[in-house]
Structure 1
Amino acid sequence: MNFLKRGAIALVAGLAFFAVQGTSHAVDLTPDSVSLEVGMGEDDLVVTRVGLQWDWNQHWFNSNGTSLDGYFDLNAAWWHASDWKDKDEDKEIAVVGLTPVFRFMKTDKKGPYIEGGVGVAFFSKVYNNAGNNMGISFQFTEHLGVGYVFDNNIDLGLRVQHYSNAGIGSHNSGENLLMLRAAYRW
């Protein structure tokens, strides 16, 4: 296992551990929100994703009514590629991912926010669209986003997201996405 692969795995595991460290209540498997995302990538890639989120409720660096918090995002996506290498092959790919996400916002979880996350994703097959070959079905994913949570708990956001295998596969073209996100928190 090369250094980069070990480092990426350690980063994701560390983020997940740090996120739940210090929680004093039993684990509740009921999600805190549900999301729908639509977006596009390079070479006419179209992505639709649904997700469930579990809040950490930590409020780190609490100051002036703002804090750093976060959530786990478990999602399933459908990618439709436009220029698959083998023309006889199906151009659709299913993707399942898990990402710990850090979010900086008001402590009441309303108003504007910025967020970032690093996670993992598993593809139903190797992505190879328009010569953009990602090499293997296991990918790392990271995103940066901005958004706003309204008083009615509707969360609207915009994300820039990247998928890559971090060099653990023979090919590592990666894929960049621009995603619009809507979520409802209860």
Structure 2
Amino acid sequence: MAVAQTSTGSGEPNFWQAGQGEGWGARLGYHDDYRRLGLVYETAPLWSHQSSGEWGRVTLTAELGVAYWDAQHGHPDSLWQVSATPMLRWWPNEFFYTEIGVGVNAFSRTSFADKGLGSAFQFGNHIGVGALIADAHRIGLRYSHFSNAGIKKPNDGLDVLQLTYTYQF
């Protein structure tokens, strides 16, 4: 399927893009002290709004994921994570997007890479940019911060810069 832009009949653009359905994604994260490798299932848009002007479109999807973290230094040197995150994406055109999301996470440990997480329950805050590279293939760059928002001490948190890939069908 190809990317296309059609008119609504009123002369206003109506962005339609291949791969607006559900999909699978891979997330490869990096920090000086640790790495993160994740697999994500993304739902089809739960909500979408097409602007009447040239502001593009906004979509809301849900990401459900599992990730493995591996520390280069510090103890413990690994942990697992499961996550559920609503992601809001703004598509100013049919190729590029920005995204933001806040979700809930469960970690297999309360410490990792010499950091005290305080609790297995963590919030995940995400902000990123990306592009549709071919049909239903997206790549992006995302910054994520995980912490328990001060619910329990310590609350060192984890930060990671991620390369994202998503295939939607």
Same fold (TM over 0.5): yes
Give the Å deviation of 1:111.
0.3
Matched, 1:159 2:142: yes
Paired residue for 1:77, among 35, 44, 67? Answer: 67
Letter of the 2:62 partner, please give it: F
Pairs within 5 Å for 1:19-34: 32-34=22-24
TM-score under structure 1 normalisation? Answer: 0.74
Matched, 1:66 2:74: no
Q: Distance in 1 between matches of 2:136 and 2:45?
A: 17
Paired residue for 1:92, among 61, 66, 78? Answer: 78
Unaligned runs of 5+ in 2: 1-20
Q: Distance in 2 between matches of 1:172 and 1:161?
A: 16
Matched, 1:114 2:106: no
- In the superposition, relative to structure 1, how do residues 162 and 99 fare at CA in structure 2: closer, same or farther (>3 Å)? same
Aligned partner of 2:112 in structure 1 is 128
- How many residues get paired? 148
Give the Å deviation of 1:157.
0.2
Paired residue for 1:139, among 122, 146, 156? Answer: 122
Q: Distance in 2 between matches of 1:80 and 1:73?
A: 22
Structure 1 segments of 4+ aligned residues over 6 angstroms from their partners? none
Q: Distance in 1 between matches of 2:108 and 2:99?
A: 27
Sequence identity, in percent?
Answer: 27
Structure 1 residues 82-126: Cα deviation after superposition (integer angstroms, max 9, x where no partner):
3334xxx5x22110000000000057xx30000000001101111
Give the Å deviation of 1:77.
0.1
Matched, 1:102 2:88: yes
- In the superposition, relative to structure 1, how do residues 106 and 59 fare at CA in structure 2: closer, same or farther (>3 Å)? farther
Give the Å deviation of 1:152.
1.7
Aligned partner of 1:25 in structure 2 is none
Letter of the 1:140 partner, please give it: F
Give the Å deviation of 1:55.
2.3
Letter of the 2:67 partner, please give it: A
* Contact 2:79–2:112 (CA under 8 A) maintained in structure 1: no
Give the Å deviation of 1:67.
1.4
Q: Give RMSD over aligned pairs.
A: 1.8
Q: Distance in 1 between matches of 2:74 and 2:54?
A: 51
Higher share of residues assigned strand: 2
Pairs within 5 Å for 1:45-56: 45-56=34-45
Matched, 1:183 2:169: no
Higher share of residues assigned helix: 1
TM-score under structure 2 normalisation? Answer: 0.81
Give the Å deviation of 1:133.
1.2
